[in-house]
């Protein structure tokens, strides 16, 4: 059934990929800091939605970014891992019974929301940069990239959620 929820997710998917590859991959703040806004798709995917479907979608999302940026499969790996561990992060941030309490990202308390977004973003970035650099001699570079890109992404994702949650 092609209902409203699915349509919103499909549009969000396409818009996020295009914004990421055309705009955000070219920011290069201080020479190497890029935000990865497309993680937003996995973050705001309905909390009670189908988990297997999310893992599949996250993989396709990451692979699309990989195709555009010629990076092999690093985004796909980071995204599918993120989709798999998301339920655990939800439990940590919003409490064990998040599924029955009908928690929504746009209505949750600021602190809980920030914990959840940070956990997701930093996990994603750590895997992403480890796989991209793929060398333990450069572990400082991995941590530095994760930290700076992570802060940038968290701020951007937080602002985007604030901006688009007015309507509801």
Partner 1 sequence: MQQIIFFFIRNKNFLLFLLLFTISIFLTVNSHSFHSNKVATSANFFSGGIYSIKENVRDYFNLRTQNNLLVEENNRLRELLSNAGSDMRTADIDSTNVLWNYDFVAARVINNSYSKTKNNLTIDKGSNDSLAIDMGVISSKGVVGIVNSVSANYATVQSVLNTNSQINAKLKNTNDFGTLKWQTGSPYIVTLIDIPRQVQFQLGDTIVTDGKSTIFPEGILIGSIADYKLANNQDYYELSIELFNNMTNIGHVYVIENKAAPEIMELENAVEDVE
- Which residues in this chain contact partner 1 in the complex, by CB under 8 A? 18, 21-22, 25, 28, 31-34, 51-52, 55-56, 59, 62-63, 66-74, 76-77, 80-81, 83-84, 131-135, 138, 141
At 20, list the tokens.
């990421």
Question: b/e string for 142-155 if b means 16 or more Cβ within 10 A?
Answer: beebbebbbbbbbe
Closest CA to 104 of 92, 122, 118, 116: 116
The residue among 108 and 129 lying less far from partner 1, judged by its C-beta, is: 129
* Of residues 25 and 160, the one with the C-beta less far from partner 1: 25
CB of 46 to partner 1, least distance (A): 16
SS3 73: coil
Task: Indicate the residue among 17 and 119 with the shorter CB distance to partner 1.
Answer: 17
**Closest separation between CB of residue 139 and partner 1, Å?**
13
Nearer to partner 1, 34 or 108 (CB): 34
CA distance linking residue 47 with residue 150, whole number of Å: 23
Min dist CB 50 to partner 1, Å, is: 10
Q: Note whether 40 and 121 are within 8 A (CB).
A: no
Q: Considering the complex, state which of residue 133 and residue 147 has its C-beta at the smaller distance from partner 1.
A: 133
The stretches of the chain forming alpha helices (DSSP H) are: 4-18, 40-44, 51-69, 74-94, 110-133, 139-164
Closest contact distance (angstroms) between CB of 130 and partner 1 is 10
What SS3 class is residue 62? helix
CB of residue 14 to partner 1, shortest distance in Å:
11
């Amino acid at each position: 059934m092609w209902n409203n929820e699915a349509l919103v997710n499909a549009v969000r998917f396409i818009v996020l990929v295009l914004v990421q590859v055309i705009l955000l991959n070219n920011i290069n703040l201080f020479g190497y800091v890029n935000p990865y806004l497309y993680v937003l798709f996995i973050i705001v995917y309905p909390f009670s939605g189908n988990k297997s479907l999310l893992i599949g979608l996250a993989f396709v999302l990451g692979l699309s970014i990989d195709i555009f940026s010629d990076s092999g499969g690093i985004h796909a790996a980071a995204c599918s891992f993120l989709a798999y561990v998301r339920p655990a992060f939800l439990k940590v941030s919003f409490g064990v019974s998040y599924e029955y309490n009908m928690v929504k990202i746009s209505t949750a308390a600021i602190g809980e929301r920030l914990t959840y977004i940070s956990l997701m973003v930093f996990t994603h970035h750590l895997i992403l940069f480890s796989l991209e650099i793929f060398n333990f001699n450069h572990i400082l570079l991995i941590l530095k990239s994760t930290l700076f890109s992570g802060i940038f992404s968290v701020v951007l994702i937080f602002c985007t959620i604030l901006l688009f949650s007015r309507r509801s």
